[in-house]
Chain A
Amino acid sequence: MIRFEPRSNPSPLLVYGVPVLAATIAILLAAIPLALAGAPIIEAYGLMISGAFGSVFSTSEMLTRATPLILTGLAAAIAFRAKLWNIGAEGQLYMGAMAAVAVGSGVIDGPSWVMIPVVIIAGMAAGALMLIGPTLLKTRLGVDEVVTTLLLNFIVLLFVQMMLEGALKDPMSMGWPQSEPIIDSAAFPALLERMRVHIGLLIALVSAIALAIFVKRTVWGFEIRAVGENAAAARFSGISVTKTMILVAALSGGLAGLAGVSEVAGTRGYLATDLSPGYGYAGIVVAMLARLSPIGVIASALFVASVFVGADSMSRAIGVSSYLADLIVAMALLCVLIGGFLTRFRVHFDHKSTQG
């Protein structure tokens, strides 16, 4: 008979070691599908590592991929802290990107120090509004936000498609549904010459640090944690749960919107419906691997980005489907969930029955 006994005080080694272990196990488990696909396993792992870290170029690609993942990871982390189940980061990302394109593709112009903040604010506001709606439905009417945010992802993608075939369509795009390019003054400058990694990475890192300080050191941050741990108790102690939830929604949606801004203004240069290969959903994995810690999000986003970039490059070299990356990421999420359980509980295997 197996018993679970709560641990009163999990050691730091356990707390920090478990996500690392979970990520490692997920990577090792990938050997099974690799073997079934008939791929040379050792070579495949080698190619994945060199694909993500083998050169300045591949590392730049990895960091470019990590940038939106840090931001959507932060979006999920802050929302889940307050038990606001925002599964709609994908839609918020697209709305942010669309707002950035709407103001940043030539309607207004100015110097970079004006235009870059303008596209950022527009995108964050759009992302925030996308989540405040479902949050109000939750707090006012009791509508489950999981389903509304999930369904909004599909609605937003169709809306973006509609706009790209209509108001936002680039007349020069030869019929492809894509927006006009972001103008130079609103584009995020590159960090390294001839490389794609751009200042979006710095913005993401600063956001992570700022969010960490906000959650740990401010009254609002305390209220968010209190609402997440026990909403009834928080309400009893005089915290407005509704206001806190809306604040969380604005932060979470805003961060996801910022990821969209960073992708259009930094990486892609224009908006198309394939802007995100699921950064919104991957952000949930990033946040869980980080145990909802903003600083931890940086590390786990780098891990997830390496898996994606490494698997892409391996896939091109030996022809194994790049869906392997999604598989590793999904397994990492489930492993870290189980790991989280093992940090909270000690497992006992009793030989005698404990009835009586």
Chain B
Amino acid sequence: MEIIDILLAASFWEAAIRIATPLIFGVLGALICERAGVLNLGIEGIFTAGAMAGWMAVWLGAGLWGSVLVAALAGGFFGLIHAILTVPLGLSQHVSGIGVTLLATSLSYFTYRTALPDVSSPPRIEPFRPLDIPFLSDLPFIGQALFSQTAMTMLALVLVFVTGWVLYRTPLGLAIRAVGDNPSSVEAQGLSVYGLRIGAVVVGSSLMALGGAFLTMSAFDAFFFGMINGRGWVCIALTVFASWRPGKALIGALLFGAFDAFQVRLQTEVGAFLPSQVFLMMPYILSIIALIVVARKADYPKALLVPWFKGQR
């Protein structure tokens, strides 16, 4: 198969969008936190918690959308821990984030193991099914690539526009962006810096958890140990690559998804010549390269990582 043939196949773009979906949730979540001035390295653990909580809710008999809400609440809970430690208490965002990742991951694993003590093959749930939208799903190419994804992918795409609209078209978005650049100016306007930052971290963390939930409730139908496999960290890199903009986040995630889908197909073509691990490394290497490319002109939110205390001038 020629490279052009791979790139022109609808199934390729279908896979690319599917791979991109959890990253879209994750990058949106990360950029909301960082726009408000808080780096959230809890992301990897929050992905795990969302994947576990969403999956378990379905397994216990909740509806799919109810379970998505459960996942979002789980993410919000861990986000709140991170927010309290880093915003009013002003503790190291790096260390607190790693702590939240360790906590959320171990709590998810412990809960899973306690609920299912000795299952060798994980029980499966009935996940989100591919959509079948009248007319749209039958369109050539785009019908398969885009309109036959699951509802969670549609939710991710909608959230890109919602996040962009809130951040750039509403007073709330203006306040969130300002609190990540110059918190004192926000306080001077009578708004609560703590409230905005905590709110942004909780909402951002809920979105991250949806990325995890997508994996167990849409891409796969079971929960595995280690299934997040660095996707959260990739999102942190993509956030820088996307210059903290929802539109660019979508493009970055799609590029990443396309590359990942491409390397899987390449593997079947030239896999005989190279060890499979070389291909598996590529997403991580690509993330590092993306960071290096944008490093010089990366325009970090000015108050990112800088704690701010009430009454500070």
Residues of chain A touching chain B, judged by Cβ–Cβ distance below 8 Å, are: 4, 33, 36-37, 80, 85, 87, 137, 141-144, 146-148, 150-155, 158-159, 161-162, 165-166, 281, 284-285, 288, 319-321, 323-324, 326-327, 329-331, 333-334, 337-338, 340-341
- Contacts A142-B295, A281-B98: A147 and B237 contacting too (C-beta < 8 A)? yes
Shortest CB–CB separation between residue B23 and chain A, in angstroms? 14
Q: How far is the CA of A142 from the CA of B14 in the complex (A)?
A: 35
Shortest CB–CB separation between residue A299 and chain B, in angstroms? 19
Q: Are B110 and A333 in contact (CB under 8 A)?
A: no
Q: Are A334 and B99 in contact (CB under 8 A)?
A: yes
Q: How far is the CA of A174 from the CA of B100 in the complex (A)?
A: 40
- Contacts A146-B41, A154-B284, A334-B85: A85 and B94 contacting too (C-beta < 8 A)? yes
Q: Are A340 and B91 in contact (CB under 8 A)?
A: yes
**16 cross-chain CB contacts under 8 A:** A33-B114, A87-B98, A137-B292, A141-B292, A142-B298, A143-B288, A147-B291, A150-B230, A150-B233, A154-B281, A284-B95, A284-B98, A323-B113, A334-B96, A334-B103, A341-B91
Q: Does B109 contact A (CB under 8 A)?
A: yes
Chain B residues within 8 Å of A337, by CB? 85, 91-92, 95-96, 99
Q: How far is the CA of A166 from the CA of B273 in the complex (A)?
A: 13
Ordered nearest first, which 8 A-B pairs have the shortest CB separation? A326-B106, A321-B113, A330-B102, A162-B277, A330-B103, A323-B110, A333-B99, A327-B106
Q: Are B102 and A285 in contact (CB under 8 A)?
A: yes
Q: How far is the CA of A154 from the CA of B277 in the complex (A)?
A: 11
- Contacts A147-B237, A154-B230: A321 and B110 contacting too (C-beta < 8 A)? yes
Q: How far is the CA of A211 from the CA of B4 in the complex (A)?
A: 57
Q: How far is the CA of A192 from the CA of B275 in the complex (A)?
A: 42
Q: Does B285 contact A (CB under 8 A)?
A: yes
Which of A137, A158, A284, A331 is the most central at the interface, judged by chain B CB atoms within 10 Å of its CB?
A158
Chain B residues within 8 Å of A147, by CB? 233, 236-237, 240, 287-288, 291
Shortest CB–CB separation between residue B202 and chain A, in angstroms? 17
Which residue on chain B has the smallest CB distance to residue A37? B114
Q: Looking at the complex, which one of A162, A326, A334 makes contact with B81 (CB distance below 8 Å)?
A: A334
Which residue on chain B has the smallest CB distance to residue A80? B95
Q: How far is the CA of A87 from the CA of B103 in the complex (A)?
A: 16
Which residue on chain A has the smallest CB distance to residue B298? A142
Q: How far is the CA of A58 from the CA of B236 in the complex (A)?
A: 41
Q: Are B95 and A155 in contact (CB under 8 A)?
A: no
Q: Does B89 contact A (CB under 8 A)?
A: yes
Chain B residues within 8 Å of A166, by CB? 275
Q: Does B105 contact A (CB under 8 A)?
A: yes
How large, as a class, is the contact surface on chain B?
35 or more
Chain B residues within 8 Å of A158, by CB? 277, 280-281
Q: How far is the CA of A334 from the CA of B107 in the complex (A)?
A: 14
Q: Are A151 and B233 in contact (CB under 8 A)?
A: yes
Shortest CB–CB separation between residue A81 and chain B, in angstroms? 13
Q: How far is the CA of A162 from the CA of B276 in the complex (A)?
A: 8
Q: Are B240 and A141 in contact (CB under 8 A)?
A: no
Q: Does B65 contact A (CB under 8 A)?
A: no
Which of A85, A151, A329 is the most central at the interface, judged by chain B CB atoms within 10 Å of its CB?
A151
The A/B interface has a contact count, at CB < 8 Å, of 132
Q: Are B95 and A288 in contact (CB under 8 A)?
A: yes
Q: How far is the CA of A305 from the CA of B89 in the complex (A)?
A: 29
Q: How far is the CA of A143 from the CA of B275 in the complex (A)?
A: 29
Q: Looking at the complex, which one of A142, A162, A281 makes contact with B102 (CB distance below 8 Å)?
A: A281
Which residue on chain B has the smallest CB distance to residue A328? B106
- Contacts A141-B292, A284-B98, A327-B103: A151 and B234 contacting too (C-beta < 8 A)? yes
Q: Looking at the complex, which one of B98, B117, B275 makes contact with A162 (CB distance below 8 Å)?
A: B275
Chain B residues within 8 Å of A330, by CB? 99, 102-103, 105-107
Chain B residues within 8 Å of A33, by CB? 107, 110, 114
Which residue on chain A has the smallest CB distance to residue B96? A337
Sample of 20 further A-B pairs with CB below 8 A, known A155-B285, A324-B110, A327-B107: A33-B107, A141-B295, A143-B288, A146-B41, A147-B237, A147-B287, A148-B291, A154-B230, A154-B281, A155-B281, A159-B277, A162-B275, A284-B98, A288-B95, A326-B110, A327-B110, A333-B103, A334-B99, A337-B99, A341-B91
Chain B residues within 8 Å of A288, by CB? 95
Q: Are B237 and A159 in contact (CB under 8 A)?
A: no
Chain A residues within 8 Å of B109, by CB? 321, 323, 326
Q: Does B166 contact A (CB under 8 A)?
A: no
Q: How far is the CA of A142 from the CA of B291 in the complex (A)?
A: 9
Which residue on chain B has the smallest CB distance to residue A30? B110
Which residue on chain A has the smallest CB distance to residue B45? A330
Q: Are B81 and A141 in contact (CB under 8 A)?
A: no
Q: How far is the CA of A165 from the CA of B102 in the complex (A)?
A: 30
Q: How far is the CA of A281 from the CA of B278 in the complex (A)?
A: 24
Shortest CB–CB separation between residue A276 and chain B, in angstroms? 14
Q: Does B309 contact A (CB under 8 A)?
A: yes
Q: Are A36 and B114 in contact (CB under 8 A)?
A: yes
Which of B237, B284, B285 is the most central at the interface, judged by chain A CB atoms within 10 Å of its CB?
B284
Which of B85, B103, B277 is the most central at the interface, judged by chain A CB atoms within 10 Å of its CB?
B277
Which residue on chain B has the smallest CB distance to residue A134? B288
Q: How far is the CA of A142 from the CA of B278 in the complex (A)?
A: 27
Q: Looking at the complex, which one of A137, A150, A154 makes contact with B229 (CB distance below 8 Å)?
A: A154
Which residue on chain B has the smallest CB distance to residue A4? B309
Q: Are B291 and A143 in contact (CB under 8 A)?
A: yes
- Contacts A281-B102, A333-B95, A337-B85: A151 and B237 contacting too (C-beta < 8 A)? yes
Q: How far is the CA of A143 from the CA of B297 in the complex (A)?
A: 11
Q: Does B313 contact A (CB under 8 A)?
A: no
Chain A residues within 8 Å of B41, by CB? 146
Shortest CB–CB separation between residue B186 and chain A, in angstroms? 18
